[in-house]
Structure formats: structure tokens, C-alpha cells
Amino acid sequence: MKCRHPHGRSCAGFTLAEVLAALVFMAIVIPVAVEGVRIASLAGQWGMRRAAAARVAERVLNELMVTGEWRRGVQSGQAVEGWQVFEWESRLDSWWEGNLRVLTVRVRFPVQEQESDVVLSTLVDVSQ
């Protein structure tokens, strides 16, 4: 707001109502922005851990296939990816056709105190 002094000089400034309105606006906008940043951070962390768990599941599934350890049925263990330790388990289930079975690897990982998992499966021939 502009004002005029009696001596012809002008001054610029804000009224108390304008300052209070700006403070109320900031009190509304800042918490919303902080919550948005927190949610984006959580989504990024979840995505990174899920990608790491998928790499672990693929590695475990490949190792079970190459070594033939999948024939032992249910197995479990731990795998390290970077600085994270992942719990994994595998199981062998029946398939509706012939000598085929479904080999499934499930990798569990925590994110923000919640348990999540990644599951990979493939078909294996038990006759070989």
C-alpha cells in the first residue's frame, strides 16, 4: 500500500491485515507441501527396495534352477543386496499339465515399518 506524507514524500508498506493474510496462507500451504515431500520420499524408498527385492528374487530363482536345488521343495534363506538383507523362500507347486511344476520365489522386505514382498515364478520340468 502506498501512502503520502504531508511533506510530499511517499512510502510503501503492508498493512497489518495484509501481513496476517499472508501468514494464514503460509500456515495452510507449508504443511501441505511438507506432506507432499514426505509421501514422495516414501514412494521413492518403496520403489528402490522393491527393485532390489526383484533383483534378489531373480538371482535366487536362477541359482535354484542352475544348481537343481529347486527339487528339494520348500526352502528359505537370506540374501544381501547392497546394505539390505532380504528374507526369501521358495516352493514347488503342481501345474495342471504333465511333468511341469511351478517354482515360486517370494522375497520379503520392510518399508516404513510395513512388510511388502516380490514374487517371481517359473515352470520347471520334473522329468529332467
CA distances from 125 to 83, 91, 103 (A): 35, 14, 10
User: Which residue did the predictor score with more confidence, 11 or 43?
Assistant: 43
Number of domains in the chain: 1
Nearest 5°: CA angle at 56, between 54 and 59?
110
- State the CATH number of the domain containing residue 121: 3.30.1300.30
Across the chain, where does the E strand assignment appear?
2-4, 10-12, 75-81, 84-94, 100-111, 114-125
Domain limits at 19?
Answer: 2-125
| pLDDT tens figures, 19-66 | 999 999 999 999 999 999 999 988 898 899 999 999 999 999 999 999
| pLDDT tens figures, 57-107 | 999 999 999 998 988 888 999 998 888 899 999 999 988 888 899 999 999
